[in-house]
């Protein structure tokens, strides 16, 4: 499904956050949104799924304004994993994942066979089957992140929004989460839109890059073409080298800041 934003502007708390942002997210592809802290990346993600509703401009899915779709219909199309999330202390992994089935449930209904299948599938994809009856609070950071990701996958979205999915994880668990995201994209042709801070993850795990700076789109396109040393200087005020690793991938390595006031 094609998701697009047209002339998005928003003010929060009297402060302008985004100004006339337009972008198109490729159906079935992975898009990474990057930019300096405070650039409006997370705000844009929340607007795309109507967690923030007070904005000007339009967000459309296959040409249809998402504000006309209704809450449940939108939730069957799109899921978001925000930065801020919490669950009751006694919640088990399986219970948490079952929350992702809310768009499909009747008011007083329990799990259907389709719900059970979706939950089982989400557990398997995130390698949490053996953790199903564990309390979420007892999990490690990487395990918790996979559990929350599994909840969004149980929603069976066609578009998945992820706000900094690897934050606070060690290197191994970062790669584990990014591999799961890539597998979901390949297996289900899910459109992935993710805010990332790691430039190399954005370069290696996305098909398209969207750079936000100074409240607007600075650049968009192929990661390997637009994520250059010059781009890092322009966006983050850092000097960087680019070299190839043993797999033949180009890696960006920041060396020093070029502007002490940044």
Same domain, yes or no: 64 and 19 = yes
User: What's the token pair of residue 106?
Assistant: 């009747």
- What pTM does this model have? 0.94
Q: Residue 77's closest CA among 95, 92, 96, 59?
A: 59
Residues 159 and 250 in one domain: no
Q: What is the pLDDT of residues 138-152, one digit of tens each?
A: 999 999 999 999 999
Do both 238 and 140 map to the same domain? no
* Count of domains for the chain: 2
Please indicate, yes or no, whether residues 234 and 213 belong to a single structural domain of this protein.
no
* CATH code, domain with 148: 3.40.50.300
Residues 6+ apart with CB under 8 A from 172: 142
Q: How confident is the model at residue 261 (pLDDT cuts 50, 70, 90)?
A: low
Same domain, 162 and 147: yes
SS3 annotation, 131-146: HCCCEHHHCCHHHHHH
Give the pairing of strands 64-65 and 56-61. antiparallel
Query: pLDDT of 118-139, one tens digit each?
Result: 999 999 999 999 999 999 999 9
CA atoms within 13 A on the CB side of 228: 9
Considering the domain architecture, whether residues 68 and 78 belong to the same structural domain is answered as yes
The answer on 172 and 237 residing in a single domain is no
In tens, the pLDDT along 57-103 reads 999 999 999 999 998 999 999 999 998 888 888 999 999 999 999 99
Q: Say if residue 161 is in the same domain as residue 111.
A: yes
| Per-residue pLDDT band at 262 (split at 50, 70, 90) | very low
Tell whether 69 and 111 lie within a shared domain: yes
Structure tokens at 184: 């979901």
**Domain containing residue 233:** 228-262
Q: Where are the beta strands (DSSP E) in the chain?
A: 3-12, 15-25, 30-34, 56-61, 64-65, 78-81, 159-163, 191-195, 208-213, 216-221, 238-244, 250-257
Q: Write down the residue that tokens 């697009």 correspond to.
A: 4
Residues 11 and 129 in one domain: yes
Kindly report, residue by residue over 9-43, the tens digit of the pLDDT: 999 999 999 999 999 999 999 999 999 999 999 99
Residues 237 and 210 in one domain: no
| Shared domain check, 250 and 169 | no
């Amino acid at each position: 499904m094609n998701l697009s934003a047209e002339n998005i502007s928003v003010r929060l708390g009297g402060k302008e956050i985004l100004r006339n942002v337009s972008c198109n997210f490729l159906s079935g592809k992975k898009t990474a949104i990057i930019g300096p802290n405070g650039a409006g990346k997370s705000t844009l993600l929340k607007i795309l799924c109507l967690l923030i509703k007070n904005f000007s401009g339009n967000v459309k899915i296959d040409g249809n304004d998402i504000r006309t779709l209704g809450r449940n219909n939108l939730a069957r199309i799109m899921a978001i994993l925000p930065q801020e999330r919490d669950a009751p202390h006694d919640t088990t992994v399986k219970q948490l994942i079952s929350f992702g089935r809310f768009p499909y449930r009747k008011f007083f209904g329990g799990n259907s066979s389709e719900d059970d299948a979706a939950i089982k599938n989400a557990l398997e994809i995130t390698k949490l089957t053996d953790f199903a009856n564990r309390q979420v609070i007892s999990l490690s950071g990487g395990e918790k992140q996979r559990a929350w990701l599994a909840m969004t996958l149980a929603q069976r979205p066609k578009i998945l929004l992820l706000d900094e999915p690897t934050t606070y994880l060690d290197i191994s668990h970062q790669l584990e989460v990014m591999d799961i995201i890539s597998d979901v994209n390949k297996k289900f042709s899910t459109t992935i839109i993710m805010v990332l801070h790691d430039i190399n993850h954005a370069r290696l795990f996305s098909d398209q890059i969207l750079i936000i700076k100074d409240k607007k789109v600075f650049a968009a396109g192929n990661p390997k073409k637009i994520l250059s040393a010059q781009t890092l200087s322009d966006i983050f005020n850092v000097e960087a080298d680019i070299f190839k690793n043993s797999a033949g991938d180009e890696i960006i390595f920041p060396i020093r800041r070029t502007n002490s006031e940044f």
